[in-house]
Amino acid sequence: MHTTDPSDDDLPSRDRFAQWSELLASSIVPVRLHSDHVEDFHGTLNTRNLGSVQVFTLTYPSLRAQRTEQLIRRSDPGLCQLLVPLRGSMTLGHAGHEMTLRPRDLVIKDSSQPFFSRVPPGDGPLGHLVAQFSRSLLSFRASDVHRLTAARIRTDQGMGALLAGMLIRLGTDSQCCRPAEASRLGAVVVDLFAALLAQHLDAEAALTRDAYRRALLLRIHAFIHQHLADPELTPAVIAAAHHISLRHLHRLFHEEQTTVAAWVRQQRLEHCRQDLADPRLAARRIHTIAARWGFARAADFSRAFRSAYGVSPKDYRDIALRAAPGTHGQEKCAFC
């Protein structure tokens, strides 16, 4: 992830806003910007490139932005944009709709259509996230995408929650993924968005088989992560929750060269491993950690842990805490 902060340069305060505005125009799309803090502006722009997808995280003291017909005629890259406020409320006018957005709301924007936005001053820095990619990556007609432009997508459940959570993680956690995973994660973002469109348009037939499979598998992974603590989490429960047959579920995981049970066990063991290496949990009993992640029997957990990592849970904890006092290993991205 690359961070640009004009205030770190040897620029006069009054010139920082102009530089930041130029940076946004060249990175995202050209817009007209205004702020109540031009003379003492402090803004940042984090950029994460995920192959065909770019994720930008912006911070600023206050902001008004407008993309006009004139700017669109000058330059329109034909982008689909996903907007998620992170701090502070935002008023957005786009495609004939005006709405107030709050943190974690998700809205679809189209670079070919004018918009305006207002973010009033607040306590501390404000900010939002934009993910963008070419509309040509979608197997939908432009008119279908436009039907959801400027519509507020629910992010408290289902595909909307999964997509918004993934974007926020990618946009705010610099350690979320390794560079080698970037292009694959970009493809996942597009597939998730396509699946979200299909859901809202009742047009799942428009998805390619691969896009549908990847989106479904990601939903299943998220469901498993949410229910790891439940020792009754079985393939039958997982299949029923996603309205697919048990055979279909097993085939999905077989195509990933694993099994449902093995993948669930791997996730549980990895969470246990992270907890065992965490100094903040050094006083917690090993069997309590195991039970927290769905291992009902301590003996079963010990055998599985030794098989996976080559040492007992107790020996692993001793080695990890001695090797890195006060720290613990980097958490693996849930989407990787």
Cα angle 78-217-55, degrees, rounded to a multiple of 5: 35
Q: How far is CA 264 from CA 134, 157, 258, 299, in A?
A: 35, 22, 10, 18
Share of the chain above pLDDT 70, in %: 91
CB 127 within 8 A of CB 58: yes
pLDDT at 166 over 50: yes
At 3 the pLDDT is 67
- For CATH 2.60.120.10, list the domain ranges present in the chain: 2-186
Identify the sign of the CA torsion 142, 146, 147, 153: positive
pLDDT at 327 over 50: no
What is the distance between the alpha carbons of residues 170 and 176, in angstroms, rounded to a whole number? 6
pLDDT at 86 over 90: yes
CB 177 within 8 A of CB 125: no
More confident: 75 or 179: 75
CB 90 within 8 A of CB 99: no
At 260 the pLDDT is 96
What class does CATH assign to 2-186?
Answer: mainly beta
pLDDT at 14 over 80: no
At 283 the pLDDT is 92
At 329 the pLDDT is 44
Residue 61 zone, left/alpha/beta (φ > 0; ψ -120 to 50; rest):
alpha
Burial string for 283-309 (b: 16+ CB within 10 Å, else e) reads eeebeebbbbbbbeeeeebbebbeeeb
What CATH superfamily classification does 227-323 receive?
A: Homeodomain-like (1.10.10.60)
89-134 pLDDT tens trace: 999 999 888 999 999 999 999 999 999 999 888 767 889 999 999 9
Cα angle 153-198-169, degrees, rounded to a multiple of 5: 50
At 5 the pLDDT is 63
Report CA Rg, the chain: 23
What is the distance between the alpha carbons of residues 304 and 307, in angstroms, rounded to a whole number? 5
Q: Determine the 3-state secondary structure of 102 from DSSP.
A: coil
What is the distance between the alpha carbons of residues 229 and 323, in angstroms, rounded to a whole number? 28
Report CA 247 to chain centroid distance, whole Å.
30
pLDDT at 204 over 70: no
Cβ neighbours around 220 below 10 Å, total: 20
Closest C-alpha among 197, 69, 88 to residue 133? 197
Cβ neighbours around 205 below 10 Å, total: 7
Share of the chain above pLDDT 90, in %: 53
Q: What is the mean pLDDT of residues 13-18?
A: 83
pLDDT at 2 over 80: no
pTM, two decimals, is 0.67
pLDDT at 78 over 60: yes
CB 150 within 8 A of CB 107: yes
Task: List the beta bridge partners of residue 85.
Answer: 128
pLDDT at 212 over 80: no
DSSP tag of 123: S
More confident: 200 or 190: 190
Residue 203 has phi, psi (to 5 degrees) of -135, 45
Least confident of 217-221, 240-244, 249-253, 269-273: 217-221
At 300 the pLDDT is 94
More confident: 51 or 146: 51
- For CATH 1.10.10.60, list the domain ranges present in the chain: 227-323
Identify the sign of the CA torsion 216, 218, 221, 223: negative
At 321 the pLDDT is 87
- The number of residues in the chain equals 336
The DSSP element (H or E) to which 117 belongs, if any, is strand 115-119
Tell me the one-letter amino acid at 333.
C
| Cβ-proximal residues to 247 (8 Å cutoff; 6+ apart), any chain | none
Place of tokens 């207002």: 118
pLDDT at 4 over 70: no
pLDDT at 24 over 80: yes
At 144 the pLDDT is 77
